[in-house]
Amino acid sequence: LALEGGVRPYIRRTADGRLLVSVAEPARRGNQPVGIVLLTREAREVDQRLFEIRASVLGLFVLALALTVLLSFYLAQTLARPLMQLAGSAAAMRQGEGRTGSVPAPLLARQDEIGILARDLQSAARALWARIDTNERFAADVAHELRNPLTSVRSAIETLRRIENPEQQKRLLAIIAEDAVRMDRLIADISDSSRVDAELSRTVAVPVDVAPILSALAELHNTTRKDGDPVMVLEAPAEGLVVRGVEGRLVQVFRNLLGNAVSFSPKDGHVWIRARPTGSLVEVVVEDEGPGIPEAKLESIFERFYSERPQGERFGQHSGLGLSITRQIVEGLHGQISAENRRDAAGKVTGARFVVRLPAA
């Protein structure tokens, strides 16, 4: 091969472990090869370089391993451990512990994604406990409200067994019938109240024009009202009253407010319905000429089972859930409802005013 054109340099190791580099080239006279020139040299430097390269690779491997261990420890301290703490907090909440909040304070103070997750978990836990407390209070209120008519029915039945006077029996049967109607109304309102939040969370709000709703309710009342009932007066533009909501529930809101205003109005009085667009909201106001609302009760009238009825009205005609359901619906549609008193120039109360504000479509 060397005579034909030479041999490229090659490396070999001897039996005693030495590293040799050899190269062979032909010697020519004219165009005729006359011999071979072979050069062999011990390659200590090459061996040293190979050792240095291997040492460098090993050093880089050790450094990478150390960095991996440190990074794993850092991630364990900053991510894995906090996540395990949050998982423990969630488990404690699931088991009924941590009502006051079991998320560690250091996690709540963090400004990174872990802190956001911790604060969201804390907020969710508080909302859950608030809902549980609300349900417990609601159950207690329901039991209390049902106990009264049931007690009345039981007392009437026990008395009915002992008396023989037909007139007294007739009065007791009338009491039983009224209490049965009252319980039926109460159960229907309780069922409706318990469904409102779930229904609104599943229903997609759509544009609804409240002008024809208000017009229809006012016209229906005025055409069917009895002597002495108040007259409804509607003051609303024909356009610009479109809100985002659920039509059936909006009808329920305005029917409740108008029914409440009618029940408190004096004989031959007036109920005013005023509606107008206000920026990004649509405002609907219902006013009456009744006795007004005690200042201390302007907020509590929206609580469940609150009932303060006009003088002369028979007990048990209302469940006390009407305004509570009304607020549930309005707030479920991302609106606001408030109550205040109407006053004349002298500051005297001349009636009640309910204000509903809903997002415009």
Alpha helices in the chain (DSSP H): 44-75, 81-94, 105-109, 113-162, 166-202, 210-224, 247-264, 322-332
Which value, in Å, is the radius of gyration of the alpha carbons in the chain? 44
**Class of the domain covering 128-202:** mainly alpha
Q: What is the pLDDT of residue 354?
A: 97
Structure tokens at 253: 């809101």
Tell me how far apart the alpha carbons of residues 214 and 286 are, in angstroms, rounded to a whole number: 11
Helical packing angle, 247-264 and 322-332, nearest 10°: 140
Residue spans in the chain of domains classed CATH 3.30.565.10: 206-359
Model-level pTM greater than 0.85? no
The band of 270, judged by pLDDT with boundaries at 50, 70 and 90, is very high
Question: Does position 7 have pLDDT exceeding 60, yes or no?
Answer: no
Most confident residue range from 64-78, 100-114, 173-187, 201-215: 201-215
Compute the average pLDDT of residues 191-217.
87
Query: How would you label 232-253 residue by residue, b for 16+ Cβ within 10 Å and e otherwise?
Result: bebebeeeebbbbbbeebbbbb
Q: How far is CA 282 from CA 40, 103, 223, 250, 278, in A?
A: 100, 41, 27, 13, 6
- At 281-325, the pLDDT tens digits run 999 999 999 999 999 899 989 887 776 655 555 544 556 788 988
- Least confident stretch, 77-86, 106-115, 302-311, 323-332: 302-311
Tell me how far apart the alpha carbons of residues 159 and 14 are, in angstroms, rounded to a whole number: 123
Tell me how far apart the alpha carbons of residues 318 and 278 are, in angstroms, rounded to a whole number: 33
Tell me 265's DSSP state.
Answer: S
Q: What is the pLDDT of residue 315?
A: 46
C-alpha closest to that of 354 among 227, 261, 228, 244: 261
Q: What is the pLDDT of residue 48?
A: 78
What's phi and psi for 357, nearest 5 deg?
-120, 125
- At 117-172, the pLDDT tens digits run 888 888 888 888 887 887 787 778 778 777 878 888 888 888 888 888 888 888 88
Tell me how far apart the alpha carbons of residues 142 and 319 are, in angstroms, rounded to a whole number: 10
Tell me how far apart the alpha carbons of residues 289 and 343 are, in angstroms, rounded to a whole number: 10
Tell me how far apart the alpha carbons of residues 125 and 133 are, in angstroms, rounded to a whole number: 12
What's phi and psi for 204, nearest 5 deg?
-85, 125
- Least confident stretch, 12-16, 44-48, 202-206, 325-329: 44-48
Question: Does position 188 have pLDDT exceeding 50, yes or no?
Answer: yes
Q: What is the pLDDT of residue 97?
A: 63
Question: Does position 28 have pLDDT exceeding 70, yes or no?
Answer: yes
Q: What is the pLDDT of residue 4?
A: 55
Tell me how far apart the alpha carbons of residues 81 and 291 are, in angstroms, rounded to a whole number: 62
Question: Does position 213 have pLDDT exceeding 50, yes or no?
Answer: yes
Q: What is the pLDDT of residue 24?
A: 77
C-alpha closest to that of 193 among 256, 282, 130, 144: 256
Q: What is the pLDDT of residue 156?
A: 86
The band of 106, judged by pLDDT with boundaries at 50, 70 and 90, is confident
Q: How far is CA 225 from CA 71, 229, 231, 308, 351, in A?
A: 80, 6, 8, 23, 20
3-state secondary structure of 105: helix
Domain 206-359 carries which CATH code? 3.30.565.10
Residue spans in the chain of domains classed CATH 1.10.287.130: 128-202
More confident: 43 or 105: 105
Percentage of the chain lying above the pLDDT 90 cut = 34
